[in-house]
């Protein structure tokens, strides 16, 4: 509490120092950030853009706190008030240093992830885990330094935390489960950033693997968030790691097709698949069974490139090739045919009359 015995000029001096320090810090932050931004736009000095982001981590509460403490320091204070003021300086400075260190980790992580996202997705996932661990270490150190400077016995505190840690672990077991699951994802790598995965009925591209959740971007554009522990309990299909795609399709031809042409169709299909170059490997083509209105064939081939768009392009080319060949040979694709027989009204009446006569006699 401020001593009211201080002369009026002491209070005026405190207010003046507060205003001057506040203006000086705000001006310094704005000028330094602007200069760094300008220099970052020059050729090889782009790295200064990251320094600008770190400067922007200087929060307004920190500037206000420093200004207030600088002003209060000009007043005549009691020993207790001086001790409180000293503790306030420690808390605010350590917190701001931790914020700067946290921003350094964030900026470095963003730069490294962007650089490795395409060339080394697994490395990008590991970097995100390291960033998470780095933030935990930074804030743990900040907390310990603050407590130590406030006069707490850190050794005793750490010992007591060992006992209380059991209760905390039980209370936060779900959070710890997600944390250990994220570590498992980073080490075991069932998927990495950029992989296309299917989880139950959900599918999308992995965008982020965090401490508690994993986020994927679905084909519809929305972001789907999974709990890490629940994610590892279910079956995950990773299409990014597909080396080749097995393709099965079928078609039916008309029952009017001559036997010789039916026998030639498997060879025609083999040639159509083979004309796709080194993208496909033919497996088989068989006359499978007799349908209600068609002779059905089943075809299996392998796409040697896992890309889905390329698979659809190849399947389209095969379909068009078969369509052209079958039309040139007058082979018709089958379609369901339904025949309806309708008896004439006069015939029905006649039948009824005959039945009636038979009954009378």
216 near 207, Cβ under 8 Å? yes
Q: What is the pLDDT of residue 186?
A: 74
Cβ(315)–Cβ(323) below 8 Å: no
Q: Rounded CA gap, 215 and 222, in Å?
A: 10
Mean pLDDT, all residues of the chain: 79
User: What length is written for the chain?
Assistant: 361
Whether the Cβ atoms of residue 2 and residue 75 lie closer than 8 Å to each other: yes
pLDDT of residue 111: 72
The predicted-structure confidence for 252-307, as pLDDT tens digits, reads as follows 999 999 999 999 999 999 999 999 988 999 999 999 999 888 999 999 999 998 88
Residue pair 127/114 in contact (Cβ under 8 Å)? The answer is no
Residue whose pair of structure tokens reads 């099965």 in the numeric block = 248
Q: What is the pLDDT of residue 137?
A: 82
Tokens of 173: 């077991």
Tokens 């931004």 correspond to 37
**Neighbour-count burial of 197, counting CB atoms closer than 10 A to its CB (0-12 exposed, 13-18 middle, 19+ buried):** buried
* Predicted local confidence at residue 251, as pLDDT: 94
Q: What is the pLDDT of residue 118?
A: 60
Q: What share of the chain is helix, strand, coil (3-state, %, to 5)?
A: 60, 15, 25
- For residue 25 the two structure tokens come to 């810090």
Q: Compute φ and ψ for 292, nearest 5 degrees.
A: -65, -35
Q: Which residues of the chain have pLDDT under 70?
A: 1-7, 9, 40-50, 113, 115-129, 154-176, 337-339, 341, 343-361
Please count the CA atoms within 13 angstroms of the CA of 124 that sit on its side-chain side.
20
Q: How far apart are CA 296 and CA 277, in angstroms?
A: 26
pTM score of the predicted model: 0.48
C-alpha 45/C-alpha 33 separation (Å) is 14
């Amino acid at each position: 509490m401020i001593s009211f015995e201080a002369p009026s000029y002491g209070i005026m001096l405190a207010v003046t120092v507060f205003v001057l320090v506040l203006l000086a810090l705000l001006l310094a932050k704005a000028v330094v950030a602007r200069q760094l931004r300008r220099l970052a736009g020059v050729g090889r000095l782009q790295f200064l853009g990251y320094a600008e982001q770190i400067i922007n981590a200087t929060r307004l509460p920190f500037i206000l706190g420093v200004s207030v403490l600088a002003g209060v320091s000009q007043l005549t204070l009691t020993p207790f008030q001086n001790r409180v003021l000293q503790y306030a300086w420690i808390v605010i400075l350590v917190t701001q240093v931790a914020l700067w260190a946290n921003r350094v980790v964030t900026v470095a992580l963003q730069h490294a992830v962007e650089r490795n996202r395409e060339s080394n997705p697994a490395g990008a996932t590991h970097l995100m885990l390291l960033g998470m661990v780095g933030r935990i270490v930074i804030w743990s150190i900040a907390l310990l330094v603050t407590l130590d400077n406030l006069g707490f016995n850190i050794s005793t505190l750490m010992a007591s935390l060992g006992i209380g840690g059991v209760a905390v672990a039980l209370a936060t077991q779900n959070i710890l489960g997600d944390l250990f699951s994220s570590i498992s994802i980073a080490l075991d790598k069932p998927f990495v950033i950029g992989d296309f995965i299917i989880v139950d009925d959900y599918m999308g591209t992995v965008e982020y693997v965090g401490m508690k959740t994993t986020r994927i971007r679905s084909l519809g554009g929305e972001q789907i968030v999974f709990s890490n522990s629940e994610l590892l309990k279910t079956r995950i299909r990773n299409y990014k790691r597909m080396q080749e795609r097995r393709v099965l399709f079928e078609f039916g031809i008309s029952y009017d097709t001559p036997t010789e042409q039916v026998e030639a169709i498997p060879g025609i299909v083999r040639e159509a698949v083979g004309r796709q170059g080194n993208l496909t490997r033919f497996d088989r083509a068989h006359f499978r069974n007799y349908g209600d209105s068609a002779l059905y064939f089943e075809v299996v081939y392998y796409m040697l490139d896992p890309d889905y768009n390329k698979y659809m392009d190849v399947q389209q080319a095969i379909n068009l090739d078969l369509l052209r060949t079958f039309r040139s040979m007058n082979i018709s694709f089958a379609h369901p045919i339904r025949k309806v027989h309708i008896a004439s009204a006069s015939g029905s009446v006649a039948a009824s009359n005959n039945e009636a006569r038979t009954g009378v006699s």
